[in-house]
C-alpha cells in the first residue's frame, strides 16, 4: 500500500511540475537530492558502525548487564512471563539500551531477536500476546537519553549545537513512552476483562 502512496506522490509532483512550468527545477532537485542522499547515507553509516561497535563492547564488558539490573524491576513488571536470565530478556535489554542511546537502527536486530523469543513464548500464534504488544510499544515510543542519530542529522545539515535539543527529546520521549505504555496496558486489561 505504501508503494502506491509514494508512487502517487511522485506522479503528482511530476504533473504539477509540468503544469506549473518548473521542469528545470524538478530535474535539478532530482540530481541534487540523489547526491545529498548518498552523502547522508555515508555519514549515517559511519555513525551506525561506530555505535554498533560501542554496543558490542558494552555487551562484552557487562555494561548492558548493569543496565539490565537497573531496569529489572520495571521489565519484570512489564514482562512477567519472561525469565530474567533468558536470551529473550537479554535481547529486550539490549534493544532498550540501544534506544536509550538514540540508536534505533542498532536496536532493530535486538528487537527482532526479542520478538522471535516472545513469539516462541506465545506458541507461534498469529495473534500478538500482551508481551509482544508491550514490547512493540516500548520499541516504537522509546525513551532516548542521547539522541545520537538526530544529533548526527542536525550536524550534517549545519547545526552549530546539534545536541541542544536533548532536554526536549527527554521530555517528549518520556511523555510518549508513558502514554503509550499506559494505553497498551490499559487496553490489554480491557481486552482480558471482555473475554
* pLDDT 10s digits, 101-119: 777 777 888 889 999 999 9
Check pLDDT > 60 for residue 194.
Answer: no
Choose between 171 and 72: higher pLDDT.
171
CA distance 69 to 71: 5
Phi-psi region of 79 (alpha: psi -120 to 50; beta: other; left: phi over 0): beta
What pLDDT, on the 0 to 100 scale, is given for residue 59? 75
What are the boundaries of each domain within the chain? 61-195
What pLDDT, on the 0 to 100 scale, is given for residue 193? 47
CA distance 116 to 119: 5
For residue 192, name the pLDDT band (cuts at 50, 70, 90). Answer: low
CB 40 within 8 A of CB 156: yes
pLDDT tens string 40-55: 788 778 877 877 787 7
**Mean pLDDT for all residues in the chain:** 83
Could you tell me which of 70, 122, 116, 126 has the C-alpha nearest to residue 93?
70
Q: DSSP assignment, residue 103?
A: -
How much of the chain, in percent, has pLDDT values that exceed 90? 11
pLDDT tens string 113-144: 999 999 988 888 888 888 898 999 988 888 88
What pLDDT, on the 0 to 100 scale, is given for residue 191? 67
Amino acid at each position: 500500500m505504501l508503494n502506491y502512496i509514494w508512487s502517487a506522490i511522485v506522479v503528482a509532483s511530476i504533473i504539477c511540475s509540468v503544469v506549473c512550468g518548473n521542469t528545470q527545477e524538478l530535474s535539478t532537485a532530482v540530481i541534487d537530492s540523489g547526491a545529498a542522499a548518498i552523502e547522508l547515507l555515508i555519514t549515517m553509516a559511519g555513525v551506525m558502525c561506530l555505535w554498533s561497535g560501542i554496543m558490542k563492547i558494552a555487551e562484552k564488558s557487562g555494561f548492558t548487564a548493569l543496565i539490565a539490573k537497573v531496569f529489572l524491576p520495571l521489565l519484570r513488571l512489564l514482562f512477567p512471563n519472561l525469565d530474567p536470565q533468558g536470551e529473550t530478556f537479554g535481547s529486550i535489554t539490549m534493544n532498550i539500551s540501544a534506544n536509550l542511546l538514540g540508536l534505533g537502527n542498532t536496536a532493530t536486530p535486538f528487537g527482532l531477536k526479542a520478538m522471535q523469543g516472545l513469539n516462541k513464548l506465545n506458541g507461534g500464534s498469529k495473534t500478538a500476546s500482551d508481551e509482544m504488544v508491550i514490547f512493540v510499544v516500548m520499541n516504537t515510543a522509546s525513551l532516548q537519553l542521547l539522541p545520537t542519530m538526530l544529533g548526527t542529522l542536525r550536524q550534517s545539515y549545519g547545526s552549530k549545537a546539534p545536541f541542544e535539543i536533548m532536554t526536549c527529546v527527554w521530555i517528549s520521549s518520556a511523555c510518549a513512552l508513558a502514554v503509550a505504555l499506559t494505553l497498551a496496558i490499559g487496553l490489554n486489561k480491557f481486552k482480558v476483562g471482555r473475554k
